[in-house]
Amino acid sequence: MIRFDRVSKRFHAHRQRPRSFHELFVEGWRLWRRPPAEVFWALRDVSFEVKPGETVGLIGPNGAGKSTVLKLVARVLKPTSGRVEVWGRVAALLELGVGFHPELTGRENVFLNGAFLGIPRREMARRLEAIVAFAELEDYIDVPVKHYSSGMYVRLAFAVSVYLDPEILLVDEVLAVGDAAFQRKCVDHLMALQQAGVTILLVSHDLEAVQRLCHRALWFDHGRIRMEGMPSSVVQAYLDQVREREDQALRDHNRQEGPARRGSGRVRIQRVYLTDGEGRERYHFETGETMRIHLRYRAEKRIERPIFGLAIHRQDGVHICGPNTAFSGFEIPWVEGEGEIIYTIPTLPLLEGTYLISVAATDERDSEIFDYHDRAYVFRVVRGRHPERYGLMTMGGRWDHERLSVPQSLSVL
């Protein structure tokens, strides 16, 4: 249904000329001489095919070229080089409200979109009731769409697209605008279209939806296809790269000098870093993994029975815990010179989110603060293979079921 053969797409970005004589006078002649256009390649030498009835997901970071692919299929853009071949009637849901005239009512825009695709007005009238019902706009269909909320806009746009009997459906990220109930309805309808043999090209940052809906996935990176294959494999490879980049950014952040600190300085915490169960320095963890927090210190003089502690806050400020060596009954007789304290969490109970760590060293009476770093270190928790997704942490509990009685009708059977 769709074939890309060594397709590239180039854009030119021109700097703005002076908008007034005053601006020209102030900025000088250099603004009048338009500099050479900056060239941006949205796609470079891209080749792939989509077979009839396939649902293919396009994933990757913003600016990777995914939406450009959809616009080329929809004939909104032409390739700079290469060849794009499309067989079949295309319905595209590319951007919120594209193809809608703001001054026209929802009803008039339905007929307008049908006219764009060459569908007779009588046929569109036959489909109108189903479109309005799906979009849940019965009370607003005769209101100009300029008065619609973003959710109403996208509901109508999606309903029109899927009820035009497309052979190829292009869906960009706009589905995220709808509420949760409408998103579920959209997914159900996409599955029905799949059963009917419609070819679907889906751009989404919802990687779970890509794995659930798509037969194949293409990972785009800087205008090229980096990986193609089964959605689960492609998504995992993409997530691994994203986490590797984020992990490096967190590592750089946590190593920067000069954290917000206070204290007498008789013991100084010189470095804080995290490792996993295999001793690798990391700042991304999955729920349930082993995580170790290392506090490397230096004491210029001998300090008797110091206490080391830490606190973990969620990014929104919720204080989760504040363990220290005294609470755990872990006595350190004295410190002098350099050393390291390690706090091990065998099974990390935190659910997905961003977390901040504070660290401290105090005297045995907790009256003198030697060193205190307030929420200076960051780590991320991702779901990974853990099924829970709601709340702050997993309790690690166990479910049991005990039947206390059996209905009389079932006991007879």
Give the chain's domain count.
Answer: 2
Take residue 38 and report the two structure tokens written for it: 């900056």
pLDDT tens digits for range 68-109: 999 999 888 999 999 999 998 888 777 655 668 889 999 999
- Residue after which a domain boundary falls, among 240, 266, 301: 240
pLDDT tens digits for range 329-363: 999 999 999 999 999 999 999 999 999 999 999 99
For residues 167 and 311, state if they share a domain: no
Take residue 300 and report the two structure tokens written for it: 């210029």
In this predicted structure, what is the pLDDT of residue 386?
78
In the block, which residue shows the tokens 């050479």? 36
In this predicted structure, what is the pLDDT of residue 186?
81
CATH number at residue 6: 3.40.50.300
Residue 397 in domain? no
Contact 168, 89 (CB under 8 A): yes
Residue 267: C-alpha distances to residues 56, 301, 306, 345 (Å): 58, 8, 9, 25
For residues 188 and 267, state if they share a domain: no
What is the C-alpha separation between 69 and 270, in angstroms, rounded? Answer: 50
Regions of the chain where pLDDT drops below 70: 13-37, 95-99, 174-178, 257-259, 409-413
Domain extent, residue 25, equals 2-240
Residue 332 in domain? yes
Q: What pTM was estimated for this model as a whole?
A: 0.73
What is the C-alpha separation between 3 and 57, in angstroms, rounded? Answer: 15
In sign, the C-alpha dihedral spanning 362, 367, 370, 373 is positive
Residue 362 in domain? yes
What is the C-alpha separation between 182 and 158, in angstroms, rounded? Answer: 10
Take residue 281 and report the two structure tokens written for it: 């320095």
- Amino acid at position 20, single letter: S
Residue 287 in domain? yes
- Residue after which a domain boundary falls, among 209, 240, 271: 240
Phi-psi region of 50 (alpha: psi -120 to 50; beta: other; left: phi over 0): beta
What is the C-alpha separation between 378 and 357, in angstroms, rounded? Answer: 6
pLDDT tens digits for range 34-79: 555 578 899 999 999 999 999 999 999 988 999 999 999 988 899 9
In this predicted structure, what is the pLDDT of residue 26?
55
* Beta strand pairing call for 81-86 and 224-229: unpaired
Residue 391 in domain? no
* Beta strand pairing call for 55-59 and 216-221: parallel
> Please, which residues bridge with residue 93 across strands?
171
Number of H helices, E strands in the chain: 9, 18
In this predicted structure, what is the pLDDT of residue 16?
59
Residue 80 in domain? yes
